[in-house]
Amino acid sequence: MRFNIVSDTNYETKVSDHVTTQFSARELEDWLHFKNYGNDLLTIGVVLMCRNPEHNFKQRIRMDRKDKALYIDLMLDYNYFVSDITQEDRIKVVANKMMDEIPPIIKKYKLKDFDVDLFMQDLKKYLKKIKWL
CA angle (29, 96, 112) in 5-degree steps: 60
pLDDT at 105: 97
* Cα 29 from Cα 20, distance rounded (Å): 15
Domain range summary for the chain, segments of one domain joined by +: 2-129
Q: Give the list of residues 6+ apart from residue 21 with CB closer than 8 angstroms, or none.
A: none
pLDDT tens string, the chain, 133 residues long: the values are 888 888 888 788 877 765 665 565 567 777 777 888 999 999 999 999 999 999 999 999 999 999 999 999 999 999 998 999 988 888 899 999 999 999 999 999 999 999 999 999 999 998 898 888 8
Length of the chain: 133
What's the order of all strands across the beta sheet hosting 61-64? 2-9, 43-50, 69-75, 61-64
pLDDT at 115: 96
pLDDT at 70: 98
DSSP 8-state secondary structure symbol assigned to residue 29:
H
* Cα 93 from Cα 72, distance rounded (Å): 16
Q: Compute CA distances 116 → 62, 75, 106, 129, whole Å.
A: 17, 21, 7, 20
- The closest of 66, 2, 77, 72 to 34, measured between CA atoms, is 2
pLDDT at 25: 59
DSSP 8-state secondary structure symbol assigned to residue 11:
G
